[in-house]
């Protein structure tokens, strides 16, 4: 392996997976690589892949924790289908991840972790390094543990602590491999450990540099790589996960509306981080209420909305199931409320830590009676910010509960995100009713939206409730004709939300025969696949409506303009059903239920299959 080092080679995009035991610090390693790459100007996208077990026994397959990212000198849509590089800190990690690796991909392993015991735990019956099973890859087995211990020996740290530094050694080696600068991680280490445990700070920095120098000096890699800056817009950037972005979006929406934010929520994977995030914003006046269950979560939000809050409740599938009765109440009360549902694998408890898009039906239809409600979906971690603001905009303008769908993939994945200037964003107009003169709780404006008259406002006392109400006055009414009127009004109001939906964007070739339609979190994979094929000269369009209810006014006509529609969904065909019900069109369905996001390559294959069929 002692070839002569060559000059760094330029690559466009690289996908790396860091994998190790839950205790190996892989999330941190991945995050450091991400941040360094971000600062160095690459576009990128990440996806952490936690073990779904509580804390599976060390060394087992169930205990493997992974972090994958794609970084690039071009626009990036997903965390990458198949890694070019796999860093595997133990046999279990190798076993779990190697199948995903690209042919001829690079594997870096900690040779020291491949003890008999660990091999056993991972279920290796023969040595993968010698049995030929890794022949398709370029394997670099480095004694990472030993080298780390050597590098920091001088500090005299206890063995257990010293061993923990090995992920920085690995990171250093990969930094060299992709010509990353060390300074960002070094200053992170300093700020994290410097003050409290300077020796740990020192150790980690030593390990990082040792790993870097190992790459530089040993020449075990034939060469290293550079990835140029991506042509991104100027401005201030940060990294956000989808869950953070929802939190940021909610705070921003409340600010734009000039009202205060209230979150009522009950923890549930993978939505809990929104609750965590917002409970840190007390200094901005944000009130979070950790309720006893999901029902109380939404009900407390209803109570707060009733009292004038920008009210939010957050959950995932099984939690949404519990909220549906109260969603009906919010519908008939006609009060603003945003319900964020971070979709996960179902049915029932299902696959709690895995992603899916199978709550569209639930969001559209899970209420007793005819109870129409706007439903939106976010398309990327950063888009969760914009989608949340949009959801509040609808809720506050139309005095209605709104469902915002994200998913486990968006929620946990992250990407660079350009920080907007709030002062440049469009305000959300809110007007509280204050004039008792002629006040009627169910009178309506031109949007068919009713007044928001909150407790504490002199002279505005009135009663609302879940029984059908008389048009205009809001009194209880069992009048048959009135029920029809109110049902029609409620439906018409939600239909009117179409007024604020911009013209549907048809990305790519408007004159293509095939359009790929998607919704929500599959955006990245679809856009990547479409770009990939268009770059090869294939004519294709990509349509990705944000609003799933009401559907955009122009959507039916646009879809009708294509010979064929391909609709990939991480479910059994829910949007396909909705589109057919609305437009009578049959689409080509591509459904996957594996608890994992789509890969670009899967979509590419599906598109090719359609094109072939179309001749």
Partner 1 sequence: MSNYPIFEPTDPSGLTRKSFVSNQEVRWCPGCGDYAVLASVQKVLPELGIPQEDFVFISGIGCSSRFPYYMETFGMHSIHGRAPAIASGTKAFRPNLNVWVMTGDGDGLSIGGNHLIHAIRRNIGLKIILFNNRIYGLTKGQYSPTSEMGKKSKSSPMGTVDYPFNPISVALGTGGTFVARTMDANPKHMQEVLKAAALHEGTAFVEVLQNCVIFNDGAFTDVTSRQSRGENTLDLVDGKPLLFGNKNEKGIILDKKMRPQVVKVDEVGLENILVHDADNEAMAFMLSHMTIPNHPVPMGVFRSVARPSYEQLLEDQINTAKAKKPNASVQSLLESGYTWRVE
Ligand X SMILES: Cc1ncc(C[n+]2csc(CCOP(=O)(O)OP(=O)(O)O)c2C)c(N)n1
C-alpha span between 570 and 594 (Å, rounded): 8
- Pick one of its own copies, partner 1, ligand X, none as the site partner of residue 537 (Cβ within 5 to 8 A by kind): none
Q: Beta strand pairing status for 514-517 and 310-315?
A: unpaired
Contacts of 254 (CB under 8 A, 6+ apart): 260, 261, 286, 310, 392
Q: Beta strand pairing status for 507-508 and 541-543?
A: antiparallel
Is residue 482 close enough to count as binding partner 1 by CB under 8 A? Answer: no
Is residue 339 close enough to count as binding ligand X by CB under 6 A? Answer: no
In the set 370, 467, 484, 560, which binds partner 1 (CB under 8 A)?
467
**Shortest spacing between CB 329 and ligand X, in angstroms:** 10
Q: Are 321 and 366 in contact (CB under 8 A)?
A: yes
C-alpha span between 542 and 506 (Å, rounded): 6
Is residue 62 close enough to count as binding partner 1 by CB under 8 A? Answer: yes
**Between residue 27 and residue 66, which ones bind its own copies under the rule CB under 8 A?**
52
Beta bridge partners of 469: 476
Only one residue has tokens 């394997």, namely 139
DSSP state letters, 73-139: SS---SS-SS-SEEEESSHHHHHHHGGGSPTT-EEEEEGGG--HHHHHHTT-SS-TTTSSTTTTSEE
Is residue 175 close enough to count as binding partner 1 by CB under 8 A? Answer: no
**Shortest spacing between CB 337 and ligand X, in angstroms:** 19
Is residue 266 close enough to count as binding partner 1 by CB under 8 A? Answer: yes
- Pick one of ligand X, its own copies, partner 1, none as the site partner of residue 280 (Cβ within 5 to 8 A by kind): partner 1
**Shortest spacing between CB 470 and its own copies, in angstroms:** 12
Is residue 268 close enough to count as binding partner 1 by CB under 8 A? Answer: yes
DSSP 472: B
Q: Are 127 and 140 in contact (CB under 8 A)?
A: no
Residue with Cβ nearer its own copies (138 or 495):
495
Binding mask 550-589 for its own copies (x = CB under 8 A): ---------------------xx-x--xx-xxx-xxx---
Contacts of 595 (CB under 8 A, 6+ apart): 345, 351, 354, 355, 356
Is residue 268 close enough to count as binding ligand X by CB under 6 A? Answer: yes
- Name the residue whose CB lies closest to ligand SF4: 54
Is residue 272 close enough to count as binding its own copies by CB under 8 A? Answer: no
**Shortest spacing between CB 361 and partner 1, in angstroms:** 19
Residue with Cβ nearer partner 1 (56 or 585):
56
Is residue 191 close enough to count as binding partner 1 by CB under 8 A? Answer: no
Q: Which stretch binds its own copies (CB under 8 A): 178-186, 358-366, 430-438, 534-542?
A: 358-366
Within a 10 A sphere around the Cβ of 17, how many other Cβ atoms?
Answer: 28
- Pick one of partner 1, its own copies, ligand X, none as the site partner of residue 178 (Cβ within 5 to 8 A by kind): none
Tokens of 42: 């690459």
**Shortest spacing between CB 56 and partner 1, in angstroms:** 6
Residue with Cβ nearer ligand X (66 or 270):
270
Residue with Cβ nearer partner 1 (264 or 520):
264
**Shortest spacing between CB 54 and ligand X, in angstroms:** 8
Within a 10 A sphere around the Cβ of 459, how many other Cβ atoms?
Answer: 10
Q: Are 272 and 287 in contact (CB under 8 A)?
A: no
Q: Are 103 and 73 in contact (CB under 8 A)?
A: no
Is residue 303 close enough to count as binding its own copies by CB under 8 A? Answer: no
Binding mask 489-518 for its own copies (x = CB under 8 A): -xx---------------------------
**Shortest spacing between CB 53 and ligand SF4, in angstroms:** 9
Is residue 383 close enough to count as binding partner 1 by CB under 8 A? Answer: no
Is residue 302 close enough to count as binding partner 1 by CB under 8 A? Answer: yes
Q: Which stretch binds ligand X (CB under 6 A): 36-44, 315-323, 485-493, 607-615?
A: 315-323
- Pick one of partner 1, ligand X, ligand SF4, none as the site partner of residue 495 (Cβ within 5 to 8 A by kind): none
**Shortest spacing between CB 276 and ligand X, in angstroms:** 13
C-alpha span between 578 and 43 (Å, rounded): 35
**Run of H or E residues at 142:** strand 138-142
**Run of H or E residues at 314:** strand 310-315
Cis peptide leading into 49, omega within 30 of 0?
no
In the set 431, 437, 446, 612, which binds partner 1 (CB under 8 A)?
431
Is residue 251 close enough to count as binding partner 1 by CB under 8 A? Answer: yes
Is residue 346 close enough to count as binding ligand X by CB under 6 A? Answer: no
Residue 70's region, left for phi above 0, alpha for psi from -120 to 50, else beta, is beta
Instruction: Find the angle CA(423)-CA(427)-CA(432) to the nearest 5 degrees.
Output: 135
Is residue 466 close enough to count as binding its own copies by CB under 8 A? Answer: yes
In the set 356, 383, 407, 531, which binds its own copies (CB under 8 A)?
356
Number of residues counted as binding partner 1 (CB under 8 A): 99
Return the HEC string of 518-566.
CCHHHHHHHHHHHHHHHHCCCCCEEECCCEEECCCCCHHHHHHCCCEEE
Number of residues counted as binding its own copies (CB under 8 A): 67
DSSP state letters, 27-49: HHHHHHHHHHHHHTT-EEEEEEE
C-alpha span between 135 and 468 (Å, rounded): 70
**Contact set with ligand X (CB under 6 A):** 266-268, 294, 318-319, 322, 349
**Contact set with its own copies (CB under 8 A):** 52, 316-318, 320-322, 324-325, 328-329, 331-333, 345-354, 356, 358-359, 361-362, 364-372, 465-468, 478, 480-481, 483-484, 487-488, 490-491, 571-572, 574, 577-578, 580-582, 584-586, 592-596
């Amino acid at each position: 392996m002692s070839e002569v080092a060559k000059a760094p080679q330029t690559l466009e995009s690289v996908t790396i997976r860091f994998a190790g035991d839950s205790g190996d610090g892989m999330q941190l390693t991945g995050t450091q690589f991400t941040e360094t790459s971000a600062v160095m100007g690459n576009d990128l996208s990440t996806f952490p892949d936690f073990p779904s077990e509580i804390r599976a026994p060390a060394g087992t397959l169930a205990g493997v924790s992974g972090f994958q990212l794609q970084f690039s000198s071009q626009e990036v849509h997903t965390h990458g289908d198949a890694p070019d590089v796999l860093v595997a800190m133990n046999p279990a990690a190798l076993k779990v991840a190697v199948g995903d690796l690209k042919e001829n991909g690079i594997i870096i392993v900690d040779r020291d972790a491949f003890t008999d015991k660990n091999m056993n735990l991972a279920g290796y019956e023969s040595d993968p390094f010698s049995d030929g099973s890794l022949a398709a890859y370029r394997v670099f087995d480095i004694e990472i543990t030993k080298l780390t211990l050597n590098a920091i020996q001088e500090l005299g740290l206890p063995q257990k602590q010293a061993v923990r530094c090995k992920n920085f050694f690995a990171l250093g080696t990969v930094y060299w491999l992709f010509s990353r600068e060390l300074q960002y991680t070094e200053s992170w280490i300093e700020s994290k450990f410097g003050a409290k445990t300077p020796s740990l700070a020192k150790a980690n920095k030593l390990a990082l540099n040792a790993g870097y120098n190992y790459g530089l000096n040993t020449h075990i890699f034939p060469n290293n790589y550079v990835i140029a800056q991506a042509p991104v817009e100027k401005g201030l950037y940060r990294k956000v996960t989808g869950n953070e972005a929802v939190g940021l979006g909610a705070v921003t929406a409340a600010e734009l509306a000039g009202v205060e934010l209230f979150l009522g929520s009950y923890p549930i994977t993978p939505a809990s981080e929104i609750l965590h995030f917002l409970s840190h914003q007390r200094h901005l006046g944000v009130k979070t209420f950790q309720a006893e269950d999901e029902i109380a979560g939404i009900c407390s939000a209803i109570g707060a909305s009733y009292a004038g809050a920008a009210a939010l409740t957050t959950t995932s599938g099984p939690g949404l199931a519990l909220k549906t009765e109260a969603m009906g109440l919010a519908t008939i009360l006609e009060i603003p409320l945003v319900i964020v549902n971070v979709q996960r694998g179902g049915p029932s408890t299902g696959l709690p830590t895995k992603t899916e898009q199978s709550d569209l039906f639930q969001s559209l239809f899970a209420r007793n009676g005819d109870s129409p409600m706007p439903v939106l979906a976010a398309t990327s971690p950063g888009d969760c910010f914009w989608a949340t603001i949009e959801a509040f905009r609808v809720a506050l303008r139309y005095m209605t509960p709104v469902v915002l769908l994200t998913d486990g993939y968006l929620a946990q994945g992250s990407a660079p995100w350009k920080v907007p200037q709030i002062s440049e964003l469009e305000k959300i107009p809110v007007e509280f009713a204050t004039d008792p003169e002629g006040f009627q709780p169910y009178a309506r404006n031109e949007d068919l939206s009713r007044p928001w008259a909150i407790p504490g406002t002199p002279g505005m006392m009135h009663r609302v409730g879940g029984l059908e109400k008389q048009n205009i006055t809001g009194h209880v009414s069992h009048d048959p004709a009135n029920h029809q009127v109110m049902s029609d009004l409620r439906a018409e109001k939600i239909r009117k939300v179409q007024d604020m939906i911009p013209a549907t964007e048809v990305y790519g070739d408007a004159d293509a025969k095939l359009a790929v339609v998607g919704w929500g979190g599959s955006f990245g994979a679809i856009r990547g696949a479409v770009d990939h094929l268009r770059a090869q000269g294939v004519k294709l369009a990509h349509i990705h409506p944000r609003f799933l209810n009401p559907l955009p006014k122009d959507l039916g006509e646009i879809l009708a303009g294509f010979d064929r529609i391909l609709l990939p969904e991480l479910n059994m065909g829910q949007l396909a059903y909705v589109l057919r019900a609305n437009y009578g069109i049959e689409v080509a369905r591509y459904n996957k239920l594996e608890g994992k996001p789509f890969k670009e390559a899967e979509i590419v294959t599906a598109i090719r299959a359609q094109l072939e069929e179309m001749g």
